[in-house]
Amino acid sequence: MSSPTLKIHDASLSFGARRLWSHLNLLVEPGEFVAVLGANGSGKTSLLRVILGEQRLTSGTVAIAGRPARRGSGEIGYVPQQRRVDPLTPLRARDLVGLGLDGHRWGIGWPNPGRRRRIDALLDRVGAAGYADRPVGLLSGGEQQRVRIAQALVAGPRLLLCDEPLLSLDPQSQSATTALVDQSRRTGDTAVLFVTHEINPVLPYADRVLYLAGGQFRAGTVDEVLNSSTLSEMYRTPVEVIRSHGRILVAGLPEMSGHEGHETNYALGAP
């Protein structure tokens, strides 16, 4: 059996006197889906930056497929949050996917049939073949995220890093996007680290949860981490986790964790 896709060992990260997290251990096996949840400013994005090799750890090690994290690793595919793209940006869906394949290489890069086939195959796999030639700026948020997933997968990564990919998507697109990520890890054995503040869309798929808050972390199954006593302990204030019709509602989070408040409101308002 090969080495774990991602191995974080005794890792700590501080900015000056501010400690984001310390002694963090995490092992992600091929094909595993790990949701990373937590308050704003708890270091979720910094964790991704460490894995991408853009940020050094204060102490500890990070290895991807057995090798230390470094910038531009071909083992990692990255899905960012959806952003408005200028409608005039000269990029079609297929060009965005193409950049994921070889956009980091020097030179002009001439088109070739093999490259085109690969891009078409990926667009087909995420169900974006119908708008392969449309400008990225004219795609809807959900369509854009499908293309983003194709872009992240086209180079055949072992680890998919998703950084709030559901933000500013409507509920249907949120579940479609999450389902697509899930499908890719099942077919390609790609491990998934999914940073989100929208808990419910990822609940059906997450094998494990890594929760970051208040300089601490908890890792485990959804039930082990997302319960009133664990969260109350991490936030050092009474937090209530309510399960209702297969959804999780978190109530009583401190003011400072803005995004979680948003999640709570959103979840309570849902049918």
Residues that bind other proteins (CB under 8 A): 52-54, 71-73, 76, 78, 80-92, 95-96, 99-100, 102-109, 111, 133-144, 148, 151, 161, 167-170, 173, 262, 265-266
Torsion 103-105-107-110 (CA) sign: negative
- C-beta closer to other proteins: residue 81 or 183: 81
What is the closest distance, in whole angstroms, from the C-beta atom of residue 186 to other proteins in the complex? 24
What is the closest distance, in whole angstroms, from the C-beta atom of residue 72 to other proteins in the complex? 2
Q: Collapsing DSSP states into helix, strand and coil, what is residue 74?
A: coil
Q: Which two tokens stand for residue 178?
A: 């999450």
Q: Collapsing DSSP states into helix, strand and coil, what is residue 258?
A: helix
What is the closest distance, in whole angstroms, from the C-beta atom of residue 233 to other proteins in the complex? 29
- C-beta closer to other proteins: residue 91 or 219: 91
- C-beta closer to other proteins: residue 107 or 271: 107
- C-beta closer to other proteins: residue 4 or 165: 165
What is the closest distance, in whole angstroms, from the C-beta atom of residue 89 to other proteins in the complex? 6
Whether the CB-CB separation of 220 and 207 falls below 8 Å is answered with no
Single-letter amino acid, residue 20: L
DSSP state at residue 234: H
What is the closest distance, in whole angstroms, from the C-beta atom of residue 141 to other proteins in the complex? 4
- C-beta closer to other proteins: residue 154 or 222: 154
Helix, strand, coil distribution of the chain in percent, nearest 5: 35, 25, 40
Q: Collapsing DSSP states into helix, strand and coil, what is residue 192?
A: strand
Q: Which two tokens stand for residue 150?
A: 């194709």
Farthest CA pair distance, the chain: 59
The three-point CA angle 196-200-202 to 5° equals 60
